[in-house]
Amino acid sequence: MTQRLNIGIIGAGAAGMAAAWDLIRAGHQVTLYEAGHAIGGLAAGFKDESWEWSLEKFYHHWFQSDKDVLTLIDEIGHTDKVIFPRPKTSYWLDGKVYRSEINLSALQLPLSPLAKLRLGLFGAYLKLTPFWQPLEKVTAHEWLQRYMGREVYEKLWRPLFIGKFSNEYDKINMAWFWARIHTRSLRLGMFKGGFQAFLEALASAIREKGAVIHLNVPVEQISTQNGKPALKVKGETCVFDRVISTLSPSMMLRLTDGLAATAYGKKMAELRSIGAVCVVLALKQQLLTDGTYWLNLPATSPDKKISQFPFLALVEHTNFMDKEHYNGDRLVYRADYVPSDHEYFKLSDDELVERFVKVLPTFNPAFNRDWIRKTWVFRAPYAQPVPGVNHSEKILPLQTPIDGLYWASMSQVYPWDRGTNYAVEIGRCVARMTLGG
């Protein structure tokens, strides 16, 4: 190394800290600025006073194919803390629960023999083919009907696409769906202590090597001084040799001087995303008594008020991880994806909880409100990119037109979906690029 660089990183989530890990080990000075009170970003967790483990604000798990995050965990010396149980994931169809894996369990689905055959054949194709580029030229709405058939699409996939992308459901390209199938494993991974424990272990590792993490310190402005990137924090301007931002597109445009007027900024403004809400319940009793961890619910309409269910997924975390880690609480997520201007972002916490609790007797007739010990509500307006046809043409390079400023976000991990594995991958990629590699 010929020069020790002073590098600023905006965001202490998985991407920012993965970049910091490589940069600090290369001998550079690294400072991270996190607007929140804790590290972690969208993967962060919280912890009730009675729990041994933390719980994710937005449910997370890893697949066995998630090599980037698993490699990083090995590098910081915590591979022994990763576990891979095989929980039960299911669909709610015609008032019943069916296993959702594309394997022999699909024979139990309420589909005709021909539909099951097409589901199996083309499900196997998506699992095995590495060629996603042709698939982004067509919508999943078109491809799935053409190859898996209308019955499979209407019964399984269309309701899930509506729940995930609302009115945009028929515009999502097939490469996005391919990525959801291609890397999926039956065993799902968790870090002992929760994802927050992993993130804290990573933060400790980079701090031990000299990185500085500032919490509760939002960046107020991104600019340049004398040809170098500069960050305004707490009213003061700090000049760096390089800056890496992991902000959302809208935040980047709002904070960065001159970016919106560039061709890069105009393309950034065209990127679309959808928000997420999670209502978490600590229950005294098990809700999904068949042992299902993840239950996909059909959306009959983008209008949540007339859809069969007011949320997309019902996830009973303690059917995946032992309830004893949470002092015996049965922990249940009710989660949905909605545009950032949706009423779910405007309702009070109590109103949203009430809206979501009403339907729980559908899944367990014995449920009553006395089961609820405590509730939490989490909302993120930027949670899921919306990829249309030929979306790769819209993906922006990590290096911005502003000297020394790099941008690495979940809007750029395409064709992969957002998640800690791809956050780690893009974080390490932007670190290499920052150093000219």
Q: Residue 158: in which H helix or E strand, if any? A: helix 158-165
Q: What is the rounded average pLDDT of the residues 422-430?
A: 97
Query: CA–CA distance from 258 to each of 64, 351, 382, 424 (Å)?
Result: 42, 41, 23, 29
Q: Rounded distance, CA 28 to CA 357, Å?
A: 50
- Per-residue pLDDT, 320: 97
Query: pLDDT tens for residues 336-355?
Result: 999 999 999 999 999 999 99
Cβ atoms of residues 144 and 177 within 8 Å = yes
- pLDDT at position 104 over 80: no
Q: Rounded distance, CA 204 to CA 299, Å?
A: 42
- Per-residue pLDDT, 102: 64
| Side chain identity at residue 262, one-letter code | T
- Per-residue pLDDT, 108: 87
- pLDDT at position 192 over 70: yes
Secondary structure letter of residue 101 according to DSSP: S
Percent of the chain with pLDDT over 90: 92
- Domain boundaries defined on the chain: 6-54+194-271+394-434, 104-181, 273-385
Domain 6-54+194-271+394-434 CATH superfamily: FAD/NAD(P)-binding domain (3.50.50.60)
Contact residues for 436 (Cβ-Cβ < 8 A; gap 6+): none
Q: What is the rounded average pLDDT of the residues 238-256?
A: 97
Same CATH fold assignment for domains 6-54+194-271+394-434 and 273-385: no
Q: Rounded distance, CA 427 to CA 333, Å?
A: 28
Reported confidence tier of residue 437, pLDDT bands at 50, 70, 90: low
Reported confidence tier of residue 1, pLDDT bands at 50, 70, 90: very low
Torsion of CA 149, 151, 152, 153, to 10 degrees: 80
Q: Residue 116: in which H helix or E strand, if any? A: helix 113-128
Angle made by CA atoms 374, 36, 219, in degrees to the nearest 5: 160
Indicate the average pLDDT of the chain: 95
- Per-residue pLDDT, 302: 87
Class of domain 273-385: alpha beta
Query: pLDDT tens for residues 193-223?
Result: 999 999 999 999 999 999 999 999 999 999 9
pTM: predicted TM-score of the whole model, two decimal places:
0.94
Query: pLDDT tens for residues 119-156?
Result: 999 999 999 999 999 999 999 999 999 999 999 999 99
Which single residue is written with the structure tokens 């933060």?
A: 203
Query: pLDDT tens for residues 272-323?
Result: 999 999 999 999 999 999 999 999 999 988 888 888 899 999 999 999 999 9
Least confident of 74-78, 96-100, 345-349: 96-100
Secondary structure letter of residue 364 according to DSSP: -
> What is the number of alpha carbons within 13 Å of residue 67 lying toward its C-beta?
2
Least confident of 77-86, 97-106, 158-167, 424-433: 97-106
φ, ψ for residue 354, nearest 5 deg: -60, -45
- Per-residue pLDDT, 2: 62
- pLDDT at position 69 over 90: yes
Q: Rounded distance, CA 164 to CA 298, Å?
A: 10
